[in-house]
Chain A
Amino acid sequence: MDTPATYLSWNFILISVPNLLMIAGMIVVFVVALLAPFPSHGEVAEPEDGHDA
């Protein structure tokens, strides 16, 4: 816990491994949210009165 994190460097980019893993995890969650089916209860409606929802 008290030891410094490992850093990766490439050209001018310097990032710690924990931060890189966090960003990668967020991208994975974002892609999964786009692709995973959402449970439906059949309670859907088309927009009405020019109001979307």
Chain B
Amino acid sequence: MREASPKPQAEPSNWTRSIRRLLARNLPLKHLLPDRQPVYVGSWVYVFGVVAIAGLIWVIASGVVLAFFGPQWWHEDGVGRFVNSLHLWSVQVFFIFMVLHLWGQYFMAGWRDGRAPTWMVGVVIFAFSIVAAFTGFISQQNFDGEWIAVNAKDATNAAGIGSFFNVLNFGQMYGLHIVLLPMLVVTLIGVHLMLVRMHGVVRPIDRKQPAQPSAEERPS
């Protein structure tokens, strides 16, 4: 008597396999690196975010040079003053276009259709960027930086955070400015971009959502 062939068993689950399936399901390469965009993306409003990132790249590149050569160089040497100015003006570009990107996303309600996490991560990036810029202003090593720090000390004390966020402690502020806050901002921007690629660019408000594929059509 012949035995029945055994049923194919499901593969045992493990973390690596689960993460691979999660990434393949949510972030296929055609969404990660798209070569075609919907027609409504043809607007300069969709360019603001990437210009902000371009500004951030200049901020980081000029900041690395400043950190390497130090305060005496960026205050007294001609090239140092130029790189110092480049750092300041690229920060202006970063913030101006981040705010224009925020205006654009606010008026097109960019949090629609499951994009609330993308919006909220963007808000957190904006908040941490302000702290990063503030610690930069008080790390200048000049009277301007000292003036800002002494005035800010009253504000941070009044807010109850002055004991562990001491704006008069140059080492703490400089460490936060060149290591922790840039790492945080860059990491969050990476998460923001992943969420944009996972959910796609939000459509204009007056444009209907395309029909979702049925359960049978949807790839498993």
Interface residues as binary, B196-208 with A (CB distance below 8 Å gives 1, 0 otherwise): 0001111100000
In the complex, chain B residues whose CB is within 8 Å of the CB of A36 = 44
Chain B, Cβ-Cβ closest to A33: B44
In the complex, chain B residues whose CB is within 8 Å of the CB of A46 = 38-39, 210
In the complex, chain B residues whose CB is within 8 Å of the CB of A49 = 213
A:14-53 near B, CB below 8 Å: 22, 26, 29-30, 32-34, 36, 38, 40, 43-53
A49 CA / B209 CA spacing, docked (Å)? 11
Number of A-B contacts (CB under 8 A): 67
Number of interface residues of B (CB under 8 A): 30
In the complex, chain B residues whose CB is within 8 Å of the CB of A32 = 44
The answer to whether B50 has its CB under 8 Å from any CB of chain A is no
In the complex, chain A residues whose CB is within 8 Å of the CB of B39 = 44-46
Is the CB–CB distance between A53 and B38 below 8 Å? yes
A32 CA / B202 CA spacing, docked (Å)? 21
Which stretch of B16-24, B79-87, B96-104, B159-167 is in the interface? B96-104
Residues on A facing B (Cβ under 8 Å): 22, 26, 29-30, 32-34, 36, 38, 40, 43-53
Is the CB–CB distance between A43 and B100 below 8 Å? no
Which stretch of B1-9, B28-36, B67-75, B171-179 is in the interface? B28-36
A29 CA / B43 CA spacing, docked (Å)? 13
CB<8 Å pairs between A and B, sample of 6: A44-B38, A45-B37, A46-B38, A46-B210, A50-B212, A51-B200
The winner among A22, A36, A49, A52 for most chain B CB atoms within 10 A is: A52
Chain A, Cβ-Cβ closest to B31: A51
The answer to whether B48 has its CB under 8 Å from any CB of chain A is yes
Shortest CB–CB separation between residue B50 and chain A, in angstroms? Answer: 13
A34 CA / B43 CA spacing, docked (Å)? 7
In the complex, chain A residues whose CB is within 8 Å of the CB of B213 = 49-50
Q: 5 nearest interchain CB pairs?
A: A52-B200, A33-B44, A45-B36, A53-B201, A44-B39
16 further A-B pairs in the complex, CB-CB below 8 A; given A43-B36, A44-B38: A32-B44, A33-B45, A34-B43, A34-B44, A38-B42, A38-B43, A44-B36, A46-B210, A47-B200, A47-B203, A48-B210, A50-B210, A50-B213, A51-B199, A52-B38, A53-B41
